[in-house]
Amino acid sequence: VPKPERQLIERVRSLAEGYSRQRRTLVTGIGDDCAVLRPPAGHELLVTTDFSLEGVHFYREWHPPESVGHRCLTRGLSDIAAMGGQALACFLSLALPADLPQSWVDRFYRGLLKLADQHGVSLAGGDTAQSPGGVLADIMVIGSVPRGKAPLRGGAKPGDLIYATGVLGSGGATVRRLYAGEKVGPASVPHYFIPQPRLKVGLRLRGIASAMIDISDGLSTDLSHICEESGVGALVFSSAIPMARDATLDDVLHGGDDYELLFTSSKSVPKEIAGVAITEIGEVVERAGMWLQDERGRTKRLKAKGWEHFSHDVKV
């Protein structure tokens, strides 16, 4: 009698094979002791891991399984995008409660694999275990970038302008609506439930961005990482920020889960890349710290308030 874990591996393997096209970078995927990858010649590898934990990053009552799978992989792909890389393969470690329906797991994988396929990424391995409580998913994504070409967080210079892709605040606004008991889902807020990692945009920003990061924890926190790593400060024009419908300035600054790109540049920057708007929102300054300036020119200090995910207790 096969063990449940073996059954799950076989199931994932057949699901993954149903999606994966022939990938030149993946020599051997699921089914051996290790995956074998062949990165493009002259490239460096990018490696990122991110947890998606039930009760921290999602609730089964709020997020359909396809959305949980999609968002799980988005977290990793968005990091690869922020390095100007292309994604090669992903690895998923998954701990599941014993009473979780198989249909939930299948739908989770479908959401994840559909996104992987859209970006030419193979699910090349992972691990499974039983969880004593709640779904725990850890995604690892491997990407590559031409040697020395990844835009890092530490490259911003005073005088560079600050830019953001897409619209911001959808994550924060949607979480507020969920807490308020509103019925929202992928059909009403696709940007939150099925966010599109900005891989194409990231690739095109290589050689343009002096520093780059993805906006996963809110503008204030992610901008503070660029400032700290670059040893600079930032002035943000609040009226210039491209805000999602329903979003407040607080959602934009301190909400999470937007998965847009934030970058600095001294070069000429296109207004749109791969169908995604690029908006100038501020400038890099020499003095350490962050400031927010409103349309009347009034300036106040901007503090990084890291997103605490679903930090407070909630009845669902």
* Distance in Å, CB of 266 to Mg ion, minimum: 23
State which residue, 214 or 251, has the beta carbon closest to Mg ion: 214
State which residue, 49 or 239, has the beta carbon closest to Mg ion: 49
For 49, 99, 113, 165, the CA distances from 93, given in Å and listed in that order, are 10, 18, 14, 30
State which residue, 77 or 235, has the beta carbon closest to Mg ion: 77
* Distance in Å, CB of 108 to Mg ion, minimum: 22
* Distance in Å, CB of 50 to Mg ion, minimum: 8
Q: Which of residues 92-111 bind Mg ion (CB under 5 A)?
A: none
Residues 231, 287 contacting (CB under 8 angstroms): no
Query: Which pair of tokens denotes residue 73?
Result: 């992989």
Q: Which of residues 294-313 bind Mg ion (CB under 5 A)?
A: none
| Among the residue ranges 5-13, 34-42, 204-212, 214-222, the one whose residues contact Mg ion (CB under 5 A) | 214-222
State which residue, 9 or 257, has the beta carbon closest to Mg ion: 257
The full DSSP string for 119-173 is TT-EEEEEEEEEESSS-EEEEEEEEEEETT----GGG--TT-EEEEES-B-HHHH
| Among the residue ranges 12-20, 76-84, 120-128, 280-288, the one whose residues contact Mg ion (CB under 5 A) | 76-84
State which residue, 160 or 214, has the beta carbon closest to Mg ion: 214
3-state secondary structure of 179: helix
b/e per residue, 120-155, with b = 16+ CB within 10 A? Answer: bbbbbbbebeebeebbbbbbbbbbbbeeeebbbbeb
* Distance in Å, CB of 83 to Mg ion, minimum: 9
Among 54, 138, 214, 257, binds Mg ion (CB under 5 A): 214
State which residue, 20 or 170, has the beta carbon closest to Mg ion: 170
Percent helix, percent strand, percent coil in the chain, to nearest 5: 30, 30, 40
For 108, 155, 201, 268, 282, the CA distances from 278, given in Å and listed in that order, are 31, 19, 9, 12, 12
Site size with Mg ion, rule: CB under 5 A: 2
* Distance in Å, CB of 140 to Mg ion, minimum: 14
| Among the residue ranges 28-36, 73-81, 132-140, 158-166, the one whose residues contact Mg ion (CB under 5 A) | 73-81
Q: Where are the beta strands (DSSP E) in the chain?
A: 26-28, 36-37, 43-53, 86-97, 122-131, 136-146, 161-165, 211-215, 233-237, 260-265, 272-273, 276-285, 289-293, 299-301
Phi/psi of residue 216, nearest 5 degrees: -110, -25
Q: Which of residues 164-193 bind Mg ion (CB under 5 A)?
A: none
State which residue, 210 or 221, has the beta carbon closest to Mg ion: 221
Contact flag: residue 217 with Mg ion (CB under 5 A): no
| Among the residue ranges 2-10, 138-146, 184-192, 207-215, the one whose residues contact Mg ion (CB under 5 A) | 207-215
Among 50, 54, 79, 251, binds Mg ion (CB under 5 A): 79
Query: Which pair of tokens denotes residue 130?
Result: 């039983």
Number of Cβ atoms within 10 Å of the Cβ of 283: 16
* Distance in Å, CB of 136 to Mg ion, minimum: 20
The C-alpha atoms of residue 104 and residue 108 are separated, in whole angstroms, by: 6
* Distance in Å, CB of 74 to Mg ion, minimum: 11
* Distance in Å, CB of 167 to Mg ion, minimum: 18
Given the rule CB under 5 A, which residues bind Mg ion? 79, 214
